[in-house]
Amino acid sequence: MAYSSDEDLLKEFSESDLAVLTGDSTGTTINTDRTAYARNNADTMIDSYLHGRFDVPFIEEINPIIKKISVDLTIALLFEIAYCKTTVPSTITWRRINALKMLKDIQAGLVSLTRTTPATDAPPPIISNKNGSERIFSDDLLDTF
């Protein structure tokens, strides 16, 4: 199961822009083989980063963060194919860099893929059985040493 779709790409680009990006200079027909190739590479990259931390490939509902990363990496790969003889626009390069950084943060556990609601999933309060008056040695006594 792919993490994103051509419909997700069409939310970012018009049909004619996506057709030109996939190789049709007239802008009439989207090369779905090229989008599928780029998406497959993007999803494989996601799986390789998250392997060991999650059961990949994801088979249930795709988390919106994973979908966004898949779209960004797919777009970056499509631009790399289309602009192989020139420079890829810097905004696309930054999309790729940010997507890979997000994958590294998910891999490291800095970003969670679970949806939490503060009212029900709040961390438990910190409870301590110590207070300041139960000290065996006072601060004055410790200062003498």
Structure confidence at residue 130 (pLDDT): 66
Mutual orientation of helices 64-82 and 32-50 as an angle, nearest 10°?
130
Q: Which parts of the chain sit beneath pLDDT 70?
A: 115-135
d(CA 79, CA 88): 6
Q: How far is CA 49 from CA 4, 45, 78, in A?
A: 17, 6, 20
Around 65, how many Cα atoms within 13 Å sit in the side-chain half-sphere? 17
SS3 state at 83: coil
Structure confidence at residue 129 (pLDDT): 65
